Amino acid sequence: MRAMTYHGAHDVRVETVPDPKLEAADDIILRVTATAICGSDLHLYRGKIPTVEHGDIFGHEFMGIVEETGPAVTAVQRGDRVVIPFVIACGDCFFCQQELYAACETTNEGPGAALNKKMIPPPAALFGYSRMYGGIPGGQAELVRVPKANTGPFKVPGTLSDEKVLFLSDILPTAWQAVINAGVKQGSSLAIYGAGPVGLLTAACARMLGAELIFMVDHHQYRLDYAQRTYGVIPINFDEDDDPADTITSQTPGHRGVDAVVDAVGLEAKGSTTETVMATLKLEGSSGKALRQCIAAVRRGGVVSVPGVYAGFIHGFMFGDAFDKGLTFKMGQTHVQRFLPELLGYIETGKLQPEAIITHRLSLEQAAEGYKIFNKKQEECRKVILTPGGSDVPLAQLDETTPFAPAT
């Protein structure tokens, strides 16, 4: 089969590799019909994640048709069209029984990313995301082995295109969990740091839930312009504004700050020169710039919701300020399976249109070019999807979206 493989930082190639085979009784083999490049794939692409080896196949946002099933698979059958959650969960352990699928205790043979973990088992395995998370080959390929197929694959109706349902695999549930954790409701005020795919879909989910005031902070003006046009956010470009939190609080009643903040940036936030040097020297794992801003922008008693990926030590984490303001922090990998039926319903009724953020539709053979465009934010790239089985897909296709209209 053809698959996108890693060969060092900024070096990915589409190569012919052996087809996957069933390894356990509850495995399936999936023929991929659509896959995507996720913002967190860029951490791998840039060489920021350890335990990634040459030849590894990336990709944790994918869907397709069930090609083969193991003898213990009862939830799906050959020919079913399914979306695959990026979290691999057993469905039976202590955490899965509480629908905390990302904490599954049984699927990850790797160590996880925690530094001070004691005897606690690692979290769930993830597709295509290093040996820390199981070393399971990902979905940027023609075929994928999907473990724990009685818990993961989610059947989707043939009436909906791949593009409409593909993001059920990761970024839509991630955005949804972020706003649920943030307690967004009718009339809420919210600040979102990061206008990447997760940040944009967070704005979409927040609007659907009735958020009244949404600030969005990023340093790519074209993404801010899109978010303002599509979701009615108040854009703040931090290349032009040294202190977005001050700008945000100055526009809230009583200068008290917003009800909640979502950090959709994560470990590669654009921080200070000191933080850049410290991260390079491995003295810290992540920049603390976005988190410091989140703590400053939220009101007392508010919530900081963190879907952005972090690792290791954080420079300048202002815990004293968080204590003084009585903040609640909610964070972690997404419990994807828990949210899929509800989110599919919102897509079917048109309340959510996650496909609107797609700008680039490429063939799998063009994956290396897709990574380059997405990484460098060329051609006003917001989201890249890849389709196996051909190279005649237009390199870029920019969609017009319906402008946001405030309720009257």
List pLDDT tens digits, range 61-109.
999 999 999 999 999 999 999 999 999 999 999 999 999 999 999 999 9
List pLDDT tens digits, range 21-63.
999 999 999 999 999 999 999 999 999 889 999 999 999 999 9
Kindly tell me if the per-residue pLDDT of 284 is higher than 60: no
Shared domain check, 131 and 91 = yes
Shared domain check, 224 and 186 = yes
Q: CA–CA separation, 114 vs 49, rounded Å?
A: 13
Shared domain check, 186 and 92 = no
List pLDDT tens digits, range 305-348.
999 888 888 878 899 999 999 999 999 999 999 999 999 999 99
Residue with tokens 């200068």: 255
In sequence order, what E strands does 53-108 have?
62-69, 81-84, 87-88
pLDDT at 407: 56
**How many structural domains does the chain have?**
2
Shared domain check, 297 and 152 = no
Whether 226 is in a domain gets the answer yes
Whether 402 is in a domain gets the answer no
Shared domain check, 322 and 290 = yes
Tokens in use for 257?
């700050």
Shared domain check, 350 and 326 = no
Last residue of a domain, one of 285, 303, 331: 331
Give the residues across from 303 on adjacent strands. 260, 328
State phi, psi for 209 to the nearest 5 degrees.
Answer: -80, -5
Residue type, 30: L
Instruction: Tell me if 215 sits within 8 A of 236, measured CB to CB.
Output: yes
Shared domain check, 282 and 311 = yes
Shared domain check, 176 and 158 = no
pLDDT at 280: 43
Shared domain check, 181 and 163 = no
Shared domain check, 145 and 199 = no
- Least confident piece of the model among 225-239, 272-286, 321-335, 392-406: 272-286
Kindly tell me if the per-residue pLDDT of 278 is higher than 50: no
Shared domain check, 7 and 156 = yes
State phi, psi for 56 to the nearest 5 degrees.
Answer: -65, 145
The whole domain housing 99 covers 2-169+341-387
DSSP three-state, residue 5? strand
Q: How confident is the model at residue 279 (pLDDT cuts 50, 70, 90)?
A: very low
